[in-house]
Amino acid sequence: MSKLLVLNGSVIPSEKSNSHEMARIFLEEYKQANPNDEIITLDLNKLIVGTKTLTTETFSTYWSDEEGMKYINQLKEIDKLLIIAPMYNFHVSGMLKNYIDHVALANQTFSYKYSTKGASIGLLDKLKVQILATQGAPKGWYPWGDHVAYLKGTWEFLGAKVSDPILLAGVKVEPLGSQTPNQIVSTISEEIKKAAKAF
């Protein structure tokens, strides 16, 4: 039995969210293929780890047991991570960035010890990650704002094995812009199901 953590990085209510619809299809297929796995969900909208930003005032307590270390330890205990990641202003949501700031901690999730040539060693090397991403504009419109590359690179830096991310782009322009989340996501549902079975 594996433990799968679902990380909600969307600020949109689930019934109106394309990324939540992607996750729904993914998890439905995943549960059929892995009926005994434990699935844990974190809604970053409702947690300190998602809403507390790193500042001068928060620095001394940012990685306390109640906040950062709790979630770092959780990552060390799970086997798989599913990230729901819409684009906001050319990047991930602020709360997903806050979560990453909490868990990307030297000597906990990565280390420079024993590394060579200035490289680091990721310490989450038992973790598998699947990214489900959306963006309003078609792919490539904002080459400076590739939130999928940021997520993939960050989790690989932390040592995780990242499956090919699934990006649903162009959801705010036609022909997708006037459709419902169910209709929009149906255009890539087979890709999502295939990824879920393999995860």
The answer to whether 110 is a known ligand-binding residue is no
The pTM of this model reads 0.95
| Counted domains in the chain | 1
The answer to whether 88 is a known ligand-binding residue is yes
**Tell me, what CATH number does 158's domain have?**
3.40.50.360
Nearest-CA neighbor of 130 among 166, 184, 95, 87?
166
User: 61: pLDDT confidence band, cut at 50, 70 and 90?
Assistant: confident
Res. 127: pLDDT tops 70: yes
Res. 114: pLDDT tops 70: no
The answer to whether 19 is a known ligand-binding residue is yes
Rounded Cα–Cα distance for residues 51 and 95 (Å): 6
The answer to whether 22 is a known ligand-binding residue is no
The answer to whether 34 is a known ligand-binding residue is no
Rounded Cα–Cα distance for residues 43 and 51 (Å): 11
The answer to whether 95 is a known ligand-binding residue is no
The answer to whether 36 is a known ligand-binding residue is no
Rounded Cα–Cα distance for residues 96 and 104 (Å): 12
Range of the domain at 91: 3-198
Reported as a single tens digit per residue, the pLDDT across 68-107 is: 899 999 999 999 999 999 999 999 999 999 999 999 999 9
User: 35: pLDDT confidence band, cut at 50, 70 and 90?
Assistant: very high
The answer to whether 69 is a known ligand-binding residue is no
Query: What is the SS3 string spanning the chain?
Result: CCEEEEEECCCCCHHHCHHHHHHHHHHHHHHHHCCCCEEEEEEHHHCHHHHCCCCCCCHHHCCCCCCHHHHHHHHHHCCEEEEEEECECCECCHHHHHHHHHHCCECCCEECCCCCCCCCEECCCCCEEEEEEEECCCCCCCCCCCHHHHHHHHHHHCCCEECCCEEEECCCCCCCCCCCHHHHHHCCHHHHHHHHHHC
Nearest-CA neighbor of 82 among 47, 38, 52?
38
Sign of CA dihedral 122, 62, 5, 23: negative
In the prediction, which pLDDT does 110 show? 93
Find tokens 């963006």 and name the residue: 135
**Any idea what the Cα angle at residue 38 is, between residues 34 and 40, rounded to 5°?**
125
